[in-house]
A = this chain, B = another copy of it.
Amino acid sequence: MSVAVITYHGRMARWEPDARGRLEQAALELFAERGFDDTTVADIADKAGLTERTFFRHFADKREVLFSGSDALRELLAQSVAAAPASMSPMQVVGAALEAVSQVLHERREIVPRRQSVISAHPELRERELIKLASWADVLTDSLRRRGVKEPSATLAAEAGIAAFKIAFARWAVDPKRRDLARLIRESLEELDAVTAGR
């Protein structure tokens, strides 16, 4: 089923039920089969039974299929830090924000391992993933400062949190249906505390 609707740009557009999800599924399958470089937007649209125009309504390019979720998660980190009780320490605030992110990722556990294997296989995508995580650390730092956390505590808590997240996420992404990301993040933060105590 597809129906003509007016988009918020005021243009006529065909509304395709879950076009975004279908494009994402198709892209991940093609990236896994042919590799990221040998998959075109036309291939993805075709496999999803949609047009390239529909693809570009949802994603700027094929790389965005893998990274478009990051903006929403960055926003969630900022909101979680802002909403955390005043009594929490900077590290507790960061832990709570990462726990909120882990809930969203839990809902996406079906696609996470496939996404990760595409990224792992491609140096440029691995770099993009690093830059994404660095932008999460930046938003955590800024949000902590806005709560009145002083430097260097704000940057250190943010960087420590992202380091713990990276490690927890790598463990989780191997088998995201059986492991609990929030718990792995808490364990990583405990281990980080133990490691840094051994200066």
Q: Which residues of A contact B (CB under 8 A)?
A: 89-92, 95, 127, 130-131, 134, 152-153, 155-157, 159-160, 163-164, 166-167, 188-193, 195-199
The copy count of this chain in the complex is: 2
For the complex, would chain A's binding face be called helix, strand, loop or mixed by DSSP majority?
A: helix
Q: How far is the CA of A199 from the CA of B160 in the complex (A)?
A: 11
Can you identify 11 A-B contacts, CB atoms within 8 angstroms? A90-B198, A91-B196, A91-B197, A92-B199, A127-B127, A130-B131, A131-B131, A152-B191, A155-B167, A156-B188, A160-B196
Nearest B residue (CB) for A130: B134
Given the known interface contacts A91-B198, A195-B91, A199-B190, the answer about A167 and B156 at a Cβ–Cβ threshold of 8 Å is yes
Given the known interface contacts A152-B188, A167-B152, the answer about A195 and B160 at a Cβ–Cβ threshold of 8 Å is yes
Given the known interface contacts A188-B152, A196-B193, the answer about A166 and B160 at a Cβ–Cβ threshold of 8 Å is no
Known A89-B199, A163-B163; 10 more pairs at CB < 8 Å: A92-B198, A127-B127, A130-B130, A130-B131, A156-B188, A156-B191, A156-B192, A160-B192, A192-B196, A196-B196
